[in-house]
Structure 1
Amino acid sequence: MNLSSLSPFKKADRILVVDDSPDNVFLIQAILEEEGYKIVTAADGRTALAKIEESPPDLVLLDVMMPGMDGFEVTKRLRDNTSLPFIPILLITAYDHLSVAKGLDTGADDFIRKPVEVDELLARVRSLLRLKHSIDERDQIARQREDFVSRLTHDLRTPLIAADRMLSLMQQGALGELSPTMNETLDIMARSNKNLLAMANTLLEVYRYEAGRKNLNFSPVDLQALLQEIVKELTPLAAQKNLSLKLNEDENAKGDPGARNVVECDRLELHRVFTNLVGNAIKFTDTGSVNVSLNNTKSAGNPGIPQVIVEVEDTGPGISSEEQTILFERFRQGKHKHSGSGLGLHLSRRIVETHHGTIEVKSEVGKGSLFIVRIPVKHSGNS
């Protein structure tokens, strides 16, 4: 394909050629420009990285041996930069297969040996650009799908909220006295509508997190007070099933306000996480108890960083090892008769990870479940 054959509506692919040899750059540039590609050049690795940051190309042709920063290091830095889109990297090398293996392991997509053969160069460039276009198209479709679901879910909330308010007014007798049968029917309708509204809200939050559109408001929060609030809110729900719901407070914090667990977090989001975990424990437990524990300890991964550990333990039916492997995935429903949409735990994991924490489950069938959340903590005395 030469320049004259390019459609006037098709944007020419932009290729960055990185080589410290002016002769090599001139040769490759002449070959590729003849084919209609737009060529940008750089004589060293640092200049190349700066140009990529400024305007990412569609493909990088990268010489392996360059002074200052070689092609391996440039490749590694590009692959480590998660803010960049996918950019194929074609290494140009005069060395043996060991350097090729190192380049591919570092993150390059293909290689070509010096001296460059014109037909081979063009074939490899076309192949990598097809890969680039395919991945870009896939990512665009994924973004469009996520945007569609987000917009649809957002629009669904309006009629659901209106229906919830209307049903509430009818239950209060605003439209006249209702018979016992009608009251029972309205109760069922109201519960179903609330469940659907909760599902729509959760789905909307999931897509906000996945699209990077969720804005969090971090501030110091007393996690012990937050858990006390949640347990108080959910105690009536546990009482309906004759379950014991108890918060085992951090012994280190009793009688010492300065030792209370303070976490830099978005309070509403952590409220959502622990409400979901405790609510699930109550929902899936038919007899026995639900216990919430709070402790402060050192991080196992980094002993210098204190963290808070919240455990939610129930005496429910337990979770099989097979289900545990997919429990936090999106739309993965459990086999329990009360299993929901499969979004709550996925969203909880998203929130916890955004707070630089972890969430895990330990369970055996017939022996209950234990959910463990670890979040970096900041004591009020150090805030």
Structure 2
Amino acid sequence: MNHSPFNRSRTVDRILVVDDTPDNCLLIQAILQDEGYQVELADSGKEALRLIEQSPPDLVLLDVMMPGMDGYEVTRRIRANISLPFMPILLTTAYDQPSVAQGLDTGADDFIRKPVHFDELLARVRALLRLKHSVDERDQIARQREDFVSRLTHDLRTPLVAADRMLNLMSQGALGDLSSDVQDAISTMIRSNANLLTMVNTLLEVYRYEAGRKTLVFSPVDLGELAQEVVKELSPLAIDKHLTLKLELNENDNFNAKGDRLELYRVMTNLVGNAIKFTDEGSVSVRLTKVDTGLVPAIKLEVQDTGPGISESDRENLFESFVPGKHKRSGSGLGLHLTRRIVEAHNGRINVSTEFGKGSTFTVYLPTH
């Protein structure tokens, strides 16, 4: 009978025992099966990896000293395979082997000395299976949350889009002439609805990245042309605030990068739009230059403003999701988080330099190939 409290309403836990000594394998198998566990055996590291790839177990009980491929190498390969679910690894080592630390550093979760004491073996197995179940439950909750948010945002978009179309039809007089007061009210409603729709769309994109469901279409992108497009589209916002919005680049330089044009457009729009939003006087500058980062040639995008700057407390979590700043115009905290995810998906990086009260500069590095 399995004494583990985590096996109620669960399938039987599967344990893979890996040892090149048949007597050891059979003895441990008998002990574990008597406790109600399902046990599979492997007599080599190569065979163990084949079985794990074929059907990942809940726990791996792994001998360190084996010919051909030792337990350390098996552990390293298991942890290097990101497609595998989490499975605890319990190493078995002889008393004269001093390199337990090496196994733990490689990715094992625990170890037990040979000759094995059965009560200790069962206690460690139960402890590691509790860890396994806890991780699995956490991951399941995270997936359910992501699915819920994804469905919710999809459901929210439908009435918001419908409301946007209806409000615009009313504003255009499709349902009759409107008084100036009603027209102003509808204009306010249109702006509020558009802001809410933008927030819902951003939330949906964030969760697509978080859940690994975002598909990027990479192709050659002229970042100079893209920057000109973004500056032109956002110029009316800058004009309304009496700000100077300028683009600085050497037109003779080639600013071609490989990426998803729509997502890179989103990055530029977020950064330039934020700069305009938080700047009340002065200017917003967008600069493109070619740089050598020491690894690969890159294109450097800078968005500099003369706004209030960012406080040290806000700077610490600036690119985290759902962490809005303390500025009165701060939004949901999703925009910069999404921007960082997009940049990282393009093998780039983003950082910010700021002086409180004097402005900020967001810098993005994107590889040219």
Q: TM-score, normalised by structure 2?
A: 0.96
Deviations 1:253-308 (A, max 9, x none): 42xxxx511111000000001100000000000000000000111123x1xx2111
* Backbone CA RMSD of aligned residues: 1.7
Deviations 1:104-156 (A, max 9, x none): 22221111111111111111111111110111011101100111011001100
Change (3 A) 1:61 1:322: same
1:22 aligned residue: 22
For 1:66 and 1:319, locate their aligned partners in 2 and report how far apart those are by CA, in whole Å.
57
For 2:32 and 2:190, locate their aligned partners in 1 and report how far apart those are by CA, in whole Å.
66
Is 1:318 matched with 2:312?
no
Amino acid at match of 1:263: A
Is 1:328 matched with 2:322?
no
Deviations 1:205-248 (A, max 9, x none): 00011001111111101110000000000011100011011110
Q: CA deviation at 1:101?
A: 2.0
For 2:303 and 2:96, locate their aligned partners in 1 and report how far apart those are by CA, in whole Å.
57
Change (3 A) 1:136 1:330: same
Checking the alignment, whether the CA contact within 8 Å between 1:242 and 1:287 is kept in structure 2 is yes
Runs of 5+ unmatched residues, structure 1:
379-383
Match of 1:286 among 280, 291, 309: 280
For 2:246 and 2:266, locate their aligned partners in 1 and report how far apart those are by CA, in whole Å.
18
For 1:171 and 1:150, locate their aligned partners in 2 and report how far apart those are by CA, in whole Å.
31
For 1:52 and 1:115, locate their aligned partners in 2 and report how far apart those are by CA, in whole Å.
26
Change (3 A) 1:9 1:282: closer
In the alignment of these two chains, the number of paired residues is 368
Deviations 1:92-112 (A, max 9, x none): 011357422222222211111
Amino acid at match of 2:340: R
Runs of 5+ unmatched residues, structure 2:
none
Deviations 1:29-62 (A, max 9, x none): 1111122211111111122122212211100000
2:183 aligned residue: 183
Checking the alignment, whether the CA contact within 8 Å between 1:321 and 1:364 is kept in structure 2 is no
Match of 1:357 among 330, 344, 348: 348
For 2:96 and 2:260, locate their aligned partners in 1 and report how far apart those are by CA, in whole Å.
53
- 1:201-212 residue pairs with structure 2 within 5 A? 201-212=201-212
- 1:340-351 residue pairs with structure 2 within 5 A? 340-351=331-342
Checking the alignment, whether the CA contact within 8 Å between 1:88 and 1:128 is kept in structure 2 is yes
2:118 aligned residue: 118
For 1:9 and 1:81, locate their aligned partners in 2 and report how far apart those are by CA, in whole Å.
29
For 2:292 and 2:104, locate their aligned partners in 1 and report how far apart those are by CA, in whole Å.
39
Checking the alignment, whether the CA contact within 8 Å between 2:6 and 2:133 is kept in structure 1 is no
Report the 3-state secondary structure (helix = DSSP H, G, I; strand = E; otherwise coil) of the residue aligned with 1:113: strand
1:83 aligned residue: 83
1:58 aligned residue: 58
For 2:224 and 2:82, locate their aligned partners in 1 and report how far apart those are by CA, in whole Å.
36
Aligned-residue identity in percent:
67
Which is further off, 225-234 or 94-103? 94-103
